[in-house]
Amino acid sequence: MSPRARQHTAGHRRNALWMAAMVHRLSGLALACFLPLHFLALGLAIDGEARLDGFLKWTANPLVKLAETGLVFLLAVHMLGGIRVLLIENMPWRDGQKNIAFAALALACVAAFAFLLRAV
């Protein structure tokens, strides 16, 4: 076993702010994976109206709407998490980061929910 990964030493991750960092990182990765799809859709618009219309019709599918809600959540949580870290690193220190991280999560949920309500 390498000294850098001994099994018994992961307890420090049971911590809200560690989870916040992970959520930030994973949401960023997920968004990066989505990007090619986004460009594909934009590409369709260049390709011609008919194909784009077909695509847009497809996005009216409820399952796609649900996926889009997830996307809105990812975007919001990634952006708010990023702002939180920027504030830590560029402004004088503020205590209560756990609360701020939870507030960011709650806000992202609200944004995603609002999107879903408008979509249905």
Partner 1 sequence: MADMIEVLLWRGKEDGRYQTFQVPQRENQTVLDVVSWVQRNADPTLSYRFACRVGVCGSCAMTVNGRPRWTCRTHTSRVVENGRLKIGPLANLPVIKDLAADLQPFFEKWQQAKGVFAPSKTRADPVETISPASAPRIAADAAIECINCAVCFAACDTVRWNEDYLGPAALNRAWTLVNDVRDAGNRERLAAVAADGGCHACHSHQSCQEHCPNKLNPTASIAGLKRRTMQAYIRGEL
Kindly list the residues in this chain that would bind partner 1 in the complex (CB under 8 A).
Answer: 1-6, 8-15, 17-18, 20-21, 85, 88-90, 93, 97
| Nearest distance in Å: CB 20, partner 1 | 7
How far is Cα 109 from Cα 98, in angstroms, rounded to an integer? 17
Least CB distance from residue 92 to partner 1, whole Å? 9
Residue closer to partner 1 by CB (options 1, 60) is 1
Task: Name which of 2 and 118 has its Cβ closer to partner 1.
Answer: 2
* CA–CA dist 113, 105 (Å, integer): 12
CB of 31 to partner 1, least distance (A): 18
Can you say whether residue 95 is alpha, beta or left, with left for phi > 0 and alpha for psi between -120 and 50 degrees?
beta
- Output the smallest distance, CB 96 to partner 1, in A: 12
3-state SS record for 2-24: CHHHCHHHCHHHCCHHHHHHHHH
In the block, residue with structure tokens 């979509």: 119
* DSSP 8-class letter at 59: T
Pick 22 or 114: Cβ nearer partner 1: 22
**Which CB, 9 or 59, lies closer to partner 1?**
9
